[in-house]
Chain A
Amino acid sequence: MEMPAPNTAVLSKKAKIVERLQSVLPKDAVIYDEAETRAYECDGLSAYRCPPLAAVLPSSTEEVSAVLKICHKEGVPVVPRGSGTSLAGGALPTADSIILGVARLNDVIETDYDNRVIKVQTGRTNLSVTGAVEEEDFFYAPDPSSQLACAIAGNIAMNSGGAHCLKYGVTTNNLLGVTLVMMDGTITELGGAHLDAGGLDLLGLICGSEGQLGVVTEATLRILRKPEGARPVLMGFDNNEVAGACVADIIKAGVLPVAIEFMDRPCIEATEAFAQAGYPMCEALLIVEVEGSDAEIDEQLGLIMQIARKHNPVELRESKSSDESAKIWLGRKSAFGAMGQINDYMCLDGTIPVSSLPHVLKRISEMSKEYGLDVANVFHAGDGNMHPLILFDANKPGDLELCEALGADILRLCVEVGGCLTGEHGVGIEKRDLMVDQFAADDLENQMAVKDVFDPTWLLNPSKVFPLASSESRRALAIAAE
Chain B
Amino acid sequence: MQTTFTPEQLTDPGIKRSNEILRTCVHCGFCTATCPTYQVLGDELDSPRGRIYLIKDMLENERVPDEKTVKHIDRCLSCLACMTTCPSGVHYMHLVDHAREYIEENYKRSFSDRALRWILAQILPYPMRFRVALLGAKIGRPFAFLMPDARLKAMLEMAPKTIPPVSRNDDPQTFAPKAPKKMRVALMTGCAQKALNTDINDATIRILRRLGAEVVVAEGAGCCGALTHHMGKTHESHATAAKNIKAWHAEIEGEGLDAIVINTSGCGTTVKDYGHMFRNEPLAKEAAAVSAIAKDISEVLIDLLPKDASELTTDVKRGDMTIAYHAACSLQHGQQIKTYPKDLLKRAGFKVVEPADSHLCCGSAGTYNLMQPVISKQLKQRKVETLEAKNPDIIAAGNIGCMMQIGGGTDIPIVHTVELLDWATGGPQPPALTVEGKRTPEVPILR
Contact = CB atoms under 8 A, between A and B. Distances in A.
So, do A and B actually touch in the complex, CB under 8 Å? yes
Interface of A: 28, 31, 33, 35-36, 38-40, 42-44, 46-47, 55, 57, 83-85, 101, 103-104, 106, 123, 125, 127, 146, 148-150, 334, 336-337, 340-341, 344, 394-395, 400
B2 A395 contact: yes
A104 B40 CA distance: 8
Contact of A148 (B38, B44, B85, B89): B85
A38 B53 contact: yes
Interface string B21-43: 00110111111111000100111
Contacts of B32: 83-84, 149
Contacts of A83: 29, 32-33
Contact of B29 (A36, A84, A336): A84
A84 B42 CA distance: 12
Q: Which of A57, A106, A340 has the most CB of B within 10 A?
A: A340
B29 A146 contact: yes
B45 interface: yes
Contact of A38 (B29, B49, B57): B57
Given A36-B45, A101-B44, A85 B28 contact: yes
Interface in B57-99: 57, 66, 68-69, 72, 85, 87-89
A361 B285 CA distance: 51
Nearest to A127: B33
Contacts of A43: 27, 29
Given A44-B27, A340-B26, 9 more contacts: A31-B45, A38-B53, A39-B50, A39-B54, A44-B28, A123-B42, A146-B28, A149-B32, A149-B33
B30 A340 contact: no
Main secondary structure of the interface of B (DSSP, over half): helix
A340 B44 contact: no
A76 B66 CA distance: 28
Contacts of A344: 2, 26
Contacts of A127: 33
A341 B42 contact: no
A157 B32 CA distance: 20
Contacts of A123: 42
B27 A42 contact: yes
B1 interface: yes
A200 B43 CA distance: 37
The 9 closest A-B pairs by CB, nearest first: A337-B87, A103-B42, A46-B27, A104-B42, A149-B33, A394-B2, A340-B88, A85-B29, A39-B50
Contacts of B44: 39-40, 55, 84, 101, 103
A21 to B, nearest CB: 15
19 contacts: A35-B69, A38-B53, A46-B2, A47-B2, A84-B32, A84-B44, A84-B49, A85-B29, A103-B42, A103-B44, A123-B42, A127-B33, A149-B29, A149-B30, A149-B33, A150-B29, A336-B87, A340-B88, A395-B23
B33 A337 contact: no
Interface residues of B, number: 33
Given A38-B57, A39-B54, A47-B2, A334 B29 contact: no
A131 to B, nearest CB: 8
A150 B30 CA distance: 8
B336 interface: no
B173 interface: no
Contacts of A47: 2
Contacts of B33: 83, 125, 127, 148-149
A83 B35 CA distance: 13
B23 A31 contact: no
Nearest to A82: B29
B106 interface: no
Nearest to A47: B2
Interface string B320-360: 00000000000000000000000000000000000000000
Nearest to B45: A39
A46 B68 contact: no
A341 B25 CA distance: 9
A44 B49 CA distance: 10
Nearest to B33: A149
Nearest to A396: B2
Contacts of A101: 42-44
A340 B24 contact: yes
B88 A341 contact: yes
B117 to A, nearest CB: 22
Interface centre among A46, A104, A336, by most chain B C-beta atoms within 10 angstroms, is A46
A337 B2 contact: no
A103 B54 CA distance: 19
B1 A394 contact: yes
B3 interface: yes
Given A57-B42, A84-B29, A149-B29, A33 B68 contact: yes
Contacts of A36: 45, 68, 72
Given A46-B1, A103-B42, A146 B30 contact: yes
Nearest to A33: B68
Nearest to A333: B87
B233 to A, nearest CB: 24
A99 to B, nearest CB: 9
B29 A341 contact: no
